[in-house]
Amino acid sequence: MIINQPYGVYGYRFQDPPQLPIYQLFATGYQEVTESDYYWDGMKRIDGPLYLFQYTVSGFGQFRLGDETHDLYAGSAFLAEIPGDHHYCLPKSSDHWTFYFVLFRQQHLQALWTELLQAVGATPTFEPSSAVVRTLQSLYTEARSNRIQNSYQASSLIYRFMMELLQSSTLQQQEKTNWPLQIKQATAYMEAEFHRLQSLDDVADVAGLSKYYFTRMFTKTTGISPMDYVTKLRIEKAVQLLRSSCLPIEEIAYAVGYSSGSYFSKVFRSRIGFPPADFRLAKELPSIDRLQFD
């Protein structure tokens, strides 16, 4: 639950070392607006270029992006680029809008921001107890307590917040209980048959979907393509066999579903960073009993 913090807005204009990829915090705040003249037009602001994240605590506001208008109630957020074709305001039908916000410079963040929009969209929702909201609240608390004293501290807070936003999408995708039944059936089949799979058509048939629609649905649900999921299963099993058995590399390749040891070695090295033989002998790398990757 969000702690009731006093309202305030805090701005920053640090002189950053130009040669370093410092993320620049512009301002953060916790506000409650009640006047109907609260209105920001993304095309008329002169403080950009900036990125804005704003999260509704109570009441509701309105956010227009392009041709779409969204009412933002408690738990809803929006992401906006300044300047940009958007506006946000307190509509006449709302008596108040309470929110946290953070503004940061676009420098060094363009790629992360693009990835973020693809992952969570422009108007995501978050539970008050989520890591995203707790991190946003923590950032504001650091500002209000006057503990952001230099660009390094500010940059680390922005980075942490961005990582929580990106991770929120991944965690939602990883919650198998929320997956559609067809995807659950397909993943169960892949986990049982990954060492024998020859075609994606067989998996799509289990899901009762066309190969094209299944691929799109699976990727949207899990965050990776069906064949990447199969590769993940095969490499995880190969790691286990390399560490716990004396099987030759060729036999391990066949055991996990590859038709040749050379191709298996190529895939293994691309995912793990070392050839299977070196990984098994732990040459110039620490002995690893379990390896986790996406």
Asked if residue 46 belongs to a domain, the reply is yes
> What is the structure's pLDDT at 16?
78
Asked if residue 14 belongs to a domain, the reply is yes
Domain hosting 73: range is 8-174
Number of independent structural domains in the chain = 2
> What is the structure's pLDDT at 293?
57
What CATH number does the domain containing 276 carry?
A: 1.10.10.60
Q: Last residue of a domain, which of 138, 156, 174? A: 174
- Report the C-alpha gap between 241 and 262 in whole angstroms: 17
Residues in the chain: 294
- Report the C-alpha gap between 41 and 34 in whole angstroms: 18
In the chain (294 residues long), the average pLDDT of successive 10-residue segments reads: 68 84 93 92 91 95 92 94 95 94 93 87 88 94 94 94 84 64 91 90 91 89 85 90 88 93 91 84 57 56
- Looking at the structure, tell me whether residues 142 and 196 fall in a common domain: no
What CATH number does the domain containing 22 carry?
A: 2.60.120.280
Geometric angle at alpha carbon 285, from 281 and 286, rounded to 5°:
90
139-170 core/surface letters (b: 16 or more CB in 10 A; e: else): bbebbbeeebeebeebbebbeebbebbbebbe
